[in-house]
């Protein structure tokens, strides 16, 4: 295990950035998101939840796929995909790390999404334990340990120092190159992790009951009359899907330029009225149907098809960002039975 004083973290950031491109939480205009590290950046490792999740590194909001150059009747097709150079993501929390596993189940199954795979292979992920989980966090519900996330390197802050432990060969290789780190020796890391676990267990939504959300109850849940009440205030704005670290819906579009056509893919949302709209009609015509689809997918459809793994990681972003205070917690508590009272 290695360590560095939290007062000297800027030295660590600079050294990592000299080896590979480094991305980490940066505060700009009062908002924290992942940005490429530059000297003088206001690095913010205290904020647990960046507005946009770290999935953007592997599944970007917009991504060029190909270009069509048109010259008379001749059409030239060019690959517009960017080369994925090695990069480091610093400060990934346990919930976001788990979201990568969920996305892997979608994009790395046959046929493999080569754009996603290339970026996954190029990354080195440094996770950071959540010393002070927030009231809106409920990752424990989904079996996630905020005190000891994996990744390539796992970090935790203890007594004013940041401790690092390599979890993979890629992580060990990077740690061994960092001269600003020193051997940690004996630490209080285990005691700090135990304290984080204790805090996590006492959060308001730490022990939501998911027993009702299983494949055998699919139609029973689908037909529950409470969906009307739950979805009544939904605006269909899509905010929940854009801040969600596990949502994977996308659209493919063509954009006409002066030189031809650029084809790209971009995030889409099942909450939009035109989502999956076909020539005949939209298969889900009402906001109730769209709202139900989102949460049935997270809690029933996805786990039924992925060995019981839920499509939610309990990060709480939707709890914080929904303008109507609608979120997956309300669905679980309403439909999950008396154990969620």
Q: pLDDT for 110-127, tens place per residue?
A: 999 999 999 999 999 999
User: In the block, which residue shows the tokens 């063509």?
Assistant: 254
Does 153 have pLDDT greater than 90?
yes
Does 277 have pLDDT greater than 90?
no
pTM comes to: 0.92
In this prediction, residue 138 carries a pLDDT of: 96
Share of the chain above pLDDT 90, in %: 86
In this prediction, residue 71 carries a pLDDT of: 82
* End-to-end Cα, the chain, rounded Å: 43
Give the mean model confidence (pLDDT) for residues 132-145: 95
Edge-to-edge strand list for the sheet holding 31-36 = 31-36, 21-28, 87-92, 123-128, 153-158, 161-166, 2-5, 182-183
Least confident of 165-174, 213-222, 268-277, 286-295: 268-277
Does 341 have pLDDT greater than 80?
no
| Confidence tier at 81 by pLDDT (50, 70, 90) | confident
| Confidence tier at 340 by pLDDT (50, 70, 90) | confident
Does 238 have pLDDT greater than 80?
yes
| Confidence tier at 74 by pLDDT (50, 70, 90) | confident
Are the CB atoms for 52 and 31 separated by under 8 Å?
A: no
Hey, is 157 helix, strand or coil?
strand
Does 31 have pLDDT greater than 90?
yes
Does 279 have pLDDT greater than 80?
no
Q: Among candidates 58, 8, 337, 321, which has minimal Cα distance to 181?
A: 8
Q: Write down the mean pLDDT value for the chain.
A: 93
Does 339 have pLDDT greater than 90?
no
Cα-based torsion angle of the residue sequence 42, 45, 49, 50 in order, rounded to the nearest 10 degrees: 30
| Confidence tier at 246 by pLDDT (50, 70, 90) | very high
């Amino acid at each position: 295990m290695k360590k560095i004083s939290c007062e000297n973290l800027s030295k660590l950031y600079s050294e990592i950035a000299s080896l590979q491109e480094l991305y980490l939480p940066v505060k700009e205009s009062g908002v924290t998101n992942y940005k490429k590290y530059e000297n003088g950046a206001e690095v913010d490792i205290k904020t647990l939840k960046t507005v946009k999740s770290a999935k953007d590194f592997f599944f970007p909001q917009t991504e060029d796929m190909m270009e069509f150059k048109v010259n008379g009747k001749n059409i030239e097709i060019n690959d517009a995909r960017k080369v994925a150079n090695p990069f480091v993501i610093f400060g990934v929390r346990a919930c976001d790390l788990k979201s990568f596993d969920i996305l892997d189940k979608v994009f790395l199954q046959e046929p493999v999404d080569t754009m996603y795979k290339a970026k996954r292979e190029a990354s080195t992920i440094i996770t950071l334990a959540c010393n002070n989980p927030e009231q809106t966090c409920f990752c424990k519900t989904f079996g996630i340990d905020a005190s000891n996330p994996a990744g390539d390197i796992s970090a935790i802050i203890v007594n004013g120092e940041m401790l690092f432990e390599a979890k993979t060969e890629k992580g060990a290789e990077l740690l061994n190159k960092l001269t600003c780190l020193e051997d940690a020796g004996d630490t209080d890391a285990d005691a700090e992790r135990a304290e984080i676990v204790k805090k996590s267990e006492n959060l308001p939504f730490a022990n939501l009951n998911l027993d009702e959300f299983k494949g055998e109850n699919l139609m029973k849940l689908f037909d529950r009359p409470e969906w009307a009440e739950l979805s009544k205030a939904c605006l269909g704005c899509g905010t929940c899907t854009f801040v969600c670290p596990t949502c994977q819906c996308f659209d493919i579009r063509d954009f006409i330029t002066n030189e031809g056509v650029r084809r790209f893919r971009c995030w889409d949302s099942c909450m939009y009225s035109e989502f999956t709209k076909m020539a005949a009609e939209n298969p889900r015509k009402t906001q109730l149907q769209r709202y139900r689809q989102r949460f049935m997918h997270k809690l029933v459809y996805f786990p039924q098809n992925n060995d019981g793994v839920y499509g939610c990681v309990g990060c709480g972003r939707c709890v914080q960002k929904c303008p109507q205070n609608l979120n997956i917690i309300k669905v679980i508590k309403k439909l999950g039975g008396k154990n969620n009272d």
